[in-house]
Structure 1
Amino acid sequence: MPRFAANLSMMYTEHEFPERFAAASADGFEAVEYLFPYAYDAGELRRRLDDHGLRQVLFNAPPGDWESGERGIASLPGREAEHRSGIERALEYAAALGCSMVHVMAGLLPPEATPAQRAAHRDTYLANLSWAAERAAAAGVDLLIEPINGRDMPGYFLHRQAEAHTVVREVGAANLKVQLDLYHCQIVEGDLTTTLRRDLPTGRVGHLQIAGVPDRHEPDRGELDVRHLFDVIDELGFDGWIGCEYIPRAGTSEGLGWLKTYRGEERA
């Protein structure tokens, strides 16, 4: 049966961030993910996890200047030293939180990027991921890369699943994997059932995420048949986590009927 992690950056925003751990646990979640931990002391976050019986399954490496619009730096030429420093910081938090996966954001291409610029970004990306994967492997951590749709994040370096899998193969590190967000994938290329059946058996997918399409609300809102997708994931024997990275329409707990129904059907 698929295992679900609450994304505390998007869910339970009716609470202050430190209180979201308790709210997620009260709703039956056993694991959490979120974008960034760095505004908080790692020891405080670990106490929140332990106090509420939660497991930290994912967070992002430092993304550059997020408030100014940066969305990662791994593919940005000239930012290699900052990338390495960010990976070291992420691995420190991963060790403190007992977290075995870190998402490394690629960054944005310049508007109207030339082929030469694209090639320079790609070369930088591969080199940075290779270095980071080696460092992470020594710490027992998997690094993830995620294709993101251009509607929500215009200019993001990585859009399609095939591109991400090609990068993983070229880097050749066993601990570099793809973060398959079914929301982004549906917007960019669709054909989710075929994508799951093609890519999950490769072992290159380390984490899944879900949200309703097109509005990024609860996963049962919109055009996705999530019950079918969960059945496919179960059929394929995926033993990782599914991050619930969506924006609740009107209260997080009130919108969890989809999860309660699914869990009830599985137990029946």
Structure 2
Amino acid sequence: MSRFSANLGFLFSELPELERVAAAAKAGFKAVEMHWPYQVPATQMRDALARSRVAMLGLNTPVGNAAAGDFGLGALPGREEEFQQAVDQALSYGAVIGASAVHCMAGVVSVDAAAQAERMFVANLTAAADKAAQAGMTVLIEPINHRDKPGYFLHRIEQAASIIEKVARANVRIMFDCYHTQIMQGDLTRRLKDYLNLIGHVQIAAVPSRAEPDEGEIDYRYICRILDRLGYDGWIGAEYKPRGRTEDGLGWLSAWTQDRSFSSSLGGAA
């Protein structure tokens, strides 16, 4: 049964991070996820989650030097030590707040460095997965589209599956972001079916706007029904950029849950 989580990197962003947790709970979400919550002390985030009785699903590894163009370090040759430090930071923070997964970001690389970058990413993920396993956590890798992030190393679902096969660790999974995958490849239904056994988390947003999932070229009611029929039992992350105030744009969720032909696949949870 599909369950929806709120990505607090985008949703309720008009509020400070700790207040976003309570806002998500008030809106009916039972789980949240974040991008980079590190500026908030982990104990304060843990307490906010406990007060609101919502689960924290995951967070991203730090990107590196954003001012210099870094968007992750995992596939960058020569940055191995920095990447492992980023992994350690994410796992340490995640352990305090009860996160179940860490998204290990690959980074931007040139086309001519792709082969070396893949070897680097596999080696880095292997070490990261072993650390995460000791903490009881999953490592997620996410293909990101080249329109929003030109040159991002990991950009196709098949590429992610190949890397996971080479890493050969059971706790490394795909974060299947429908928005990114639709832009880069399309054919979402077939890819969800073909790679379901490797998918650790699903995210949704409208294409091409990346706004609420009630517009654009993807029929997310259909996608949710497909996931339900396939037996996907994970969360679906609402990772979109609201058109205005987050609360004003949650009509898609109430509409879906009020649709009897659809609500049976939602498991009664927002």
What TM-score comes out, normalization by structure 2 length? 0.94
Deviates more, 1:257-266 or 1:166-175: 257-266
Which amino acid in 2 is paired with 1:164?
Answer: A
Write out per-residue CA displacement over residues 54-106 of structure 1, whole angstroms, 9 at most, x where no aligned residue. Answer: 10001101221234421100011111111111111111111111111100000
Q: Which of 102, 127, 130 is the equivalent residue of 1:131?
A: 127
Could you say what the CA RMSD is over the residues aligned between the two structures, in angstroms? 1.2
What are the within-5 Å matches in structure 2 for residues 80-99 of structure 1? 80-99=80-99
Matching of residue 174 in structure 1 with residue 200 in structure 2: no
User: Which residue number corresponds to residue 223 of structure 2?
Assistant: 229
The amino acid of 2:240's aligned partner reads Y
Amino acid at match of 1:248: P
Distance 1:3 1:188 in 2: 25
One-letter amino acid matched to 1:133: A
Partner of residue 21, structure 1: 21
Matched, 1:195 2:191: yes
SS in 2 for 1:163: helix
Counterparts of 2:66 and 2:131, CA distance in 1: 24
Measure the CA separation in 1 of the matches of 2:199 and 2:134.
20
Query: How far apart, CA to CA, are the structure 2 residues paired with 1:185 and 1:60?
Result: 19
| 2:143 and 2:160 in contact (8 A); partners too | yes
Task: Tell me if 1:163 matches 2:163.
Answer: no
Mapped to 1, the partners of 2:72 and 2:173 lie a distance apart of 17
Measure how far apart 1:19 and its partner are.
1.1
SS at match of 1:154: coil
Deviations 1:126-159 (A, max 9, x none): 1101111111111111101010000000010011
Matched residue of 2:59: which SS? strand
Q: CA deviation at 1:16?
A: 2.1
Residue correspondence of structure 1 range 76-115 to structure 2 within 5 A: 76-110=76-110, 113-114=111-112
Matched to 2:14, the amino acid is E
Could you tell me how far 1:7 is from its partner in structure 2? 0.7
Which ranges in structure 1 are unaligned for 5 or more consecutive residues? none
> How many Å apart are 1:251 and its aligned residue?
1.4
The letter for the 2-side match of 1:77 is P
- Alignment match, 2:58: 58
| Cα distance in 1 for residues equivalent to 2:250 and 2:42 | 29
8 Å contact from structure 2 (residues 72, 108) kept in 1: yes
Q: CA deviation at 1:212?
A: 0.2
Give the paired residue count. Answer: 262
2:36 and 2:71 map into 1 onto residues whose CA distance is: 12
Matched, 1:258 2:252: yes
Query: Separation in 1 of the partners of 2:245 and 2:89?
Result: 33
The TM-score with structure 1 as length reference comes to: 0.95
**Corresponding residue SS for 1:93:** helix
Instruction: Give the 5 Å matches for 1:37-56.
Output: 37-56=37-56
SS at 2:109 equivalent: coil
Equivalent in 245, 253, 256 of residue 239 of structure 2: 245
CA 1:149–1:29: 2 relative to 1, 3 Å: same
Q: Distance in 2 between matches of 1:197 and 1:86?
A: 32
Determine the C-alpha separation between the residues in 2 that align with 1:54 and 1:257.
21
Post-superposition, which runs of at least 4 consecutive aligned residues in structure 1 deviate over 6 A?
none
Counterpart amino acid of residue 255 in structure 1: G
More moved, 258-267 vs 84-93? 258-267
By how many angstroms is 1:187 displaced? Answer: 0.4
Corresponding residue of 2:33? 33
My pick for the range that moved more, 142-151 or 250-259, is 250-259
